[in-house]
Amino acid sequence: VSLAHSLRLNDPDDFTHNSFADALEEARELIDEDGRVPEHLRNAVEGHLSNFNISVGVTDDFMEALYNDEEFTFTNPRTEEPHVATPETKEIYDMFGLGEHVEVGEELSIPAQELWDDMIEGAHENGEPGVIYLERVNKEHSFDVEEHPDHRILATNPCGEQPLEEYEACNLGHINLSTLAAQDAPDWRVWSDEHADEY
Q: Give the C-alpha separation, 86 to 81, whole Å.
A: 15
If 0-12 CB within 10 Å is exposed, 13-18 middle and 19+ buried, where does residue 110 land?
buried
Tens place of pLDDT for every residue, the chain, 199 residues? 455 656 666 655 555 544 445 555 666 676 666 666 666 555 555 555 566 778 888 889 999 999 999 999 998 877 889 999 988 888 888 888 889 999 999 999 999 999 999 899 888 887 888 888 888 999 998 889 889 989 988 888 877 888 888 888 888 888 888 888 888 888 889 989 999 888 7
> Using H for helix, E for strand and C for coil, what is the string for 115-142?
HHHHHHHHHHHHCCCEEEEHHHHHHCCC
For residue 121, CA distances in Å to 15, 42, 56, 118, 127 come to 13, 27, 14, 5, 9
Catalytic residue among 71, 121, 135, 157: 157
For helices 60-67 and 112-126, angle between their N-to-C axes, nearest 10 degrees: 100
Q: For every residue of 70-116, which 3-state class applies, written as one string?
A: CEEECECCCCCCECECCHHHHHHHHHCCCHHHCCCCCECEEEHHHHH
pTM of the shown model = 0.64
> Of residues 161, 171, 194, 198, which has the active-site annotation?
161
For residue 191, what is the DSSP state?
Answer: H
Active site residue 170: no
Active site residue 76: no
Instruction: Find the catalytic residue in 106, 125, 159, 166.
Output: 159
Q: Is 161 a catalytic residue?
A: yes
Gap between the Cα atoms of 148 and 74, Å rounded: 25
Helix, strand, coil share (%) of the chain residues, nearest 5: 40, 15, 45
Domain ranges of the chain: 3-198
